[in-house]
Amino acid sequence: MNPEISLVITTISPPNEVLITYATECRARNISFIVVGDQKSPADFSLDGCSFMNVEEQAQSGFGLAPLLPLNHYSRKNLGYLHAMRLGSTVIMETDDDNAPKPGFFDLKPVKRIVNMFSGEGWMNVYRYFSDGFLWPRGYPLQLIREPAPPNAGFSESMVSCPIQQGMADGAPDVDAIFRLTRPEPAVFLSRPDLALGEHVWCPFNSQNTVWAEPAFMLLYLPSTCSFRMTDIWRSFIAQRIAWSCGWNILFRESTVVQKRNPHSLMHDFEDEIPGYLNNFSIAAALSALPLSPGEENISANLVKCYEVFIAMGLMDPSELKMVLAWIADVNNRAWQDR
């Protein structure tokens, strides 16, 4: 297997059509395919072309974060990221077990290139850029969902550095429970040029179809002391804030997956999303006002500062900081940094 690229997924299901497809495609491309299990995962999980990490193997991984993570939580995916780093990956791709790849999923885009960029300050509903419909991404402030799509005058071609790249998802895109309870699905996004967001422009991104280059690996951390529906969204806000301090932009691209959504209780999703509905706008404001030290060498310290904001706002438990510090230590572990 090519250790330079890894695909990381977490699941509690037996091998399904989506997982089998990824295993086949990764094997054909010499990509390391890592699947992270949890307490509810099948004890006999087996899939050719896949490295499956069950709970026991996670506990024996040697990662300081492993014994701190809660069971039955999406944040166990963190151990898959760390395993990919241990293999020597320089690119980590991630998706979920209900997102089937489209042609182009494995086509990686350069980190530095000229793309359309939206500049300004405030919020940008990227879904309105890739669609003519009325929809918004999970984590987008409800106060702003009726705002019109930005005019074309707001875009310009610019040279950008984008070590974090988010793709759209056709079928059942990543929208919130309020959307699903009130609007029809499915949706198909338009094929439009890639879009980067300028400094001080916010848009949530998720973990369903995201590519991370090595300079941004420290920002992969998924928090544990919040709900499943907020963990990747709040991670995205922290990643965006720290990206600006490094001179990076977040890039969004057309759809390269089709979500065949696993069964969900929409009312349970709604309950889990309430902290986001009430706080996502103020979270972005607090992070915007946070003084961070510039440069990639300060990412770890800035990560701690951002999580301290969430703890101070009462949105995460103080124990989150211990996990953040363990994550930082694991990422910085010389066992693979000296490769």
Domain boundary among 43, 63, 97: 97
**Structural domain span for residue 226:** 98-337
Say if residue 107 is in the same domain as residue 14: no
Both 92 and 109 in one domain: the answer is no
- For 310, the token pair is 């969430």
Residues 80 and 117 in one domain: no
User: Which long-range contacts (C-beta less than 8 Å, at least 24 apart) are formed by 333-338?
Assistant: 335/86, 336/85, 336/86, 336/87, 336/88
Q: Do 89 and 109 reside in the same domain of the chain?
A: no
Domain boundary at 97, 121, 153, which?
97
Q: Do 236 and 312 belong together in one domain?
A: yes
The verdict on 65 and 181 lying in the same domain is no
- Same structural domain for residues 29 and 123? no
Rounded distance, CA 55 to CA 59, Å? 6
Residues 84 and 219 reside in one and the same domain: no
Say what the pTM is.
0.94
Is the CB of residue 164 less than 8 Å from the CB of residue 250?
yes
Q: Are residues 116 and 224 in the same domain?
A: yes
- Assess whether 81 and 137 both reside in one domain: no
Largest CA distance in the chain: 55
How many distinct structural domains can be found in the chain? 2
pLDDT tens digits in sequence order for the chain, 339 residues long: 456 999 999 999 899 999 999 999 999 999 999 999 999 998 899 999 999 999 999 999 999 999 999 999 999 999 999 999 999 999 999 999 999 999 999 999 999 999 999 988 899 999 999 998 889 999 999 999 998 877 665 788 999 999 999 999 999 889 999 999 998 877 899 999 999 999 999 999 999 999 999 999 999 999 999 998 999 999 999 999 999 999 999 999 999 999 987 777 899 999 999 999 999 999 999 999 999 999 999 999 999 999 999 999 999 999 999 999 999 999 998 544 444
SS3 labels along 69-105: CCCCCHHHHHHHHHHHHHHCCCEEEEECCCEEECCCC
User: Which one of 97, 127, 144 terminates a domain?
Assistant: 97
CA distances from 154 to 4, 148, 268 (A): 37, 13, 38
